[in-house]
Amino acid sequence: MNDCWYNVAKPWEFKRRRHFSSRPDQMDRREHPRIQLPLLVELSHPSLGRQSCIARDVSEGGVFVHIKTRDIRPGATIKLTLLSPTTVDTQPTPTVDMEVKRVEETGLGLAFKNRTSRHLWESVERLRDELAVGRDYFQLHVAGLVMNETGRLLIVQQNGRWTFPGTYLVVGDDWRRALTHVLTERFSLELTEAPLEVLALETESSEAVPEAAVAKVFAISRVNALNFSFRPGERYKDSRWLQNPRMIDELTFADEFTRTQAAAAFRWLASRNHDG
């Protein structure tokens, strides 16, 4: 077991902790506070070439990187670059010299060689500050604007309000497969061969509760509803098929997002029928 201890309590809350050995006779209190955040880095060394790996347990003194190698010895110098995990433009980060302090089965313990190398810490601090749910990024929710073969639009009642069936996405989800799963498994709907088409993207946030910020993707789904079934449950209490956008205006508990996208779905259908 390496002496890199990692824990994240919430996705929007990165806590600093001090390390304590699991052995009571070796209470190894770390000198530097740890940023509990995994980072993507690139290592460069003649014996490694260039390799990307995950770094954890970053402090002002150094970093632990997860990489399997038997060709590095303590005292060696490795160049390390902090990488952006996304394709979104970010500020450039420095390449710094690190000294190998220990070699373990799961990775390397690296220490900053000089003050210049500690610029990496500033880069990590900046990245950590950028990772604030509700300020710089949102939870992602995908909803289906489900149109049946007669041109009716499906809405469902959730938490006392009328909305569209959908789901939150987690890392690794394909949004089309996730939405298709909800529609087929929950409502026994059969999607037509026409691909799902994104109709709109809306954002909803609150300064009071930033972690509840949501980016909502609304996608048109053409379905065969002959086998449609609905059973009230914990998630959805009721369902209706709307024949026209005026019907949603008659519903008491429907928010502006639902009303706006319902009208957009009927306009989309009208334009398709006109073109067809």
The whole-number pLDDT of residue 6 equals 30
Mean pLDDT (whole number) for 236-249: 89
Residue 58 has pLDDT above 50, yes or no: yes
Give the chain's end-to-end CA distance (angstroms, integer): 65
Q: Which of 195, 203, 243 is nearest to 219 (CA)?
A: 195
Is residue 159 a contact partner of residue 151, using CB atoms and an 8 Å limit?
A: no
The residue among 217 and 212 whose pLDDT is bigger is 217
Cβ neighbours, 10 Å, residue 169? 17
DSSP reduced 3-state for 118: helix
Average pLDDT score over the chain: 77
Q: Read off the tokens for 214.
A: 């949501």
Among 76, 98, 130, residue at a domain's last position: 130
Q: How much is the pTM?
A: 0.57
Tell me: do 269 and 151 sit in the same domain: yes
Task: Please give the tally of structural domains in the chain.
Answer: 2
Q: Which of 183, 156, 147, 175 is nearest to 265 (CA)?
A: 147
Tell me: do 96 and 145 sit in the same domain: no
Tell me: do 143 and 123 sit in the same domain: no
Summarised one tens digit per residue, pLDDT across range 78-133 is: 999 877 655 444 455 678 889 999 999 889 999 988 877 777 666 666 655 555 55
Total residues belonging to the chain = 276
Q: Read off the tokens for 178.
A: 């996730």
The whole-number pLDDT of residue 166 equals 94
Among 112, 130, 148, residue at a domain's last position: 130
Cβ neighbours, 10 Å, residue 229? 10
Summarised one tens digit per residue, pLDDT across range 17-38 is: 333 333 333 334 445 544 445 6
CATH of the domain at 192: 3.90.79.10
Among 130, 154, 188, residue at a domain's last position: 130
Tell me: do 86 and 161 sit in the same domain: no
